[in-house]
Structure 1
Amino acid sequence: MASPIAATAPYWVPALSMLLVARRIRRNFGVQPWRPVRASIRLGFLVLVAAMLCALGAFQPQLAPGLGIGAALGALLGLLALKHTHVAWRDGQRTYTPNPWIGGALTALLVGRIAWRYTHEGFAAAQAPSALTMGMATVLIGYSLVYVVGLMVQMRRLQAPASATQANPSEPPAP
């Protein structure tokens, strides 16, 4: 007899997946506010997932080539995305505008793999991960790691606008 969670998984797993994809799509377009705490938490999570993927590659050597190639491609895409990301001050807040083509391509990769896995393989937990799935996962993780770290560096280098750094002439100087 299947548990209630397993019995309802075909309904809530795709819905949850699409919610996460919708959030990802929203972050690919337009000016985004820089949230350093969120970025730090995301970086910590990505490092943890990357470490787990490295351990998986060590314990399942047949996955190692897919993991390595995926990580290298993801890092290259992250560098390319950083080159085409614009950072600026807007209304007194640091912002960035990501390249929609690179983010859109990675989102299409993610959605395509989720759709393929769901329609052809199902979401059975007992299935062993394939090298293709793990390669695609490391593309996304490698991209995200490089992109988040690169954005952190760019935001630290971003100078405050001249009007915000100048002292108010009507105020007396601080002692």
Structure 2
Amino acid sequence: MHQYGWIVLIALILFTIFRRVRRNIGWQVLLRKRLITRTVIFIIIGLIFLASGAVHPISLISDVIGLCIGVGLAYYSSAITRFERRDHHWYYLPNIWIGSIVSVIFLGRLLYRFIGLYSGGPLNSPQAQQSGSLQNMNAAIGNSWTAGLLLIMFAYYVVYYLILLRKQKQLLQSPEKTDF
């Protein structure tokens, strides 16, 4: 029965990767409700990561750095996003490289954590967790950077989707043009 849980988890992860890659490639329909839903989900999850890291100074520093990088990438990506009107709908073309970099950071860190959990390395032993050793401190620092790396993705998508929502409002109010 335990193996079925792993199979379901792996299938879910692969499906998520497929959807993320698909959203980074090609023209996407600019749908207000979908963008709002995604923005709210990313805000909630991002706030959870931010709140959990607020108790440690190193975590807080990595979180702020992750937020700044994510916001910067979102502004740059939105500046080079193209918009086009087809069949009475607006479409946007996200930058494939920036979206891919954000996804690779997220997936790389996720894979690293799964490998660490699966291998049950020396830092997961009861002796390492109870001692105040240098290894234990390095493990805590490594875990604190996890949230910072994940917050790059959350900040990127929240800001990028908010900019897309603002741009959609401008596009709907502007006279008919077919390409921006």
Q: Aligned in 2, Cα 1:97/1:133: closer, same or farther, shift over 3 Å?
A: same
TM-score of the pair, normalised by structure 2: 0.77
SS at match of 1:59: coil
TM-score of the pair, normalised by structure 1: 0.79
- What amino acid does structure 2 have at the position aligned with 1:41? T
Corresponding residue for 1:9? Answer: 5
Q: Aligned in 2, Cα 1:117/1:135: closer, same or farther, shift over 3 Å?
A: same
For 2:148 and 2:118, locate their aligned partners in 1 and report how far apart those are by CA, in whole Å.
19
Larger Rg: 1
Could you tell me how far 1:112 is from its partner in structure 2?
A: 1.8
Q: Which has the higher helix share?
A: 2
Q: Aligned in 2, Cα 1:35/1:162: closer, same or farther, shift over 3 Å?
A: closer
Could you tell me how far 1:136 is from its partner in structure 2?
A: 1.3
- What amino acid does structure 1 have at the position aligned with 2:44? L
For 2:147 and 2:165, locate their aligned partners in 1 and report how far apart those are by CA, in whole Å.
27
For 2:149 and 2:155, locate their aligned partners in 1 and report how far apart those are by CA, in whole Å.
10
Which protein has greater RCO, CA pairs closer than 8 Å, 6+ apart?
2
For 1:123 and 1:101, locate their aligned partners in 2 and report how far apart those are by CA, in whole Å.
32
Corresponding residue for 2:176? Answer: 161
Corresponding residue for 2:97? Answer: 101
- What amino acid does structure 1 have at the position aligned with 2:19? R
Corresponding residue for 1:86? Answer: 82
> Could you tell me the percent identity over the aligned residues?
25
Q: Aligned in 2, Cα 1:152/1:91: closer, same or farther, shift over 3 Å?
A: same
Could you tell me how far 1:150 is from its partner in structure 2?
A: 0.5
Corresponding residue for 1:74? Answer: 70
Structure 2 unmatched runs, 5+? 125-139
Corresponding residue for 1:19? Answer: 15
Q: 2:153 aligns with which of 111, 135, 140?
A: 140
| Aligned residue pairs, count | 157
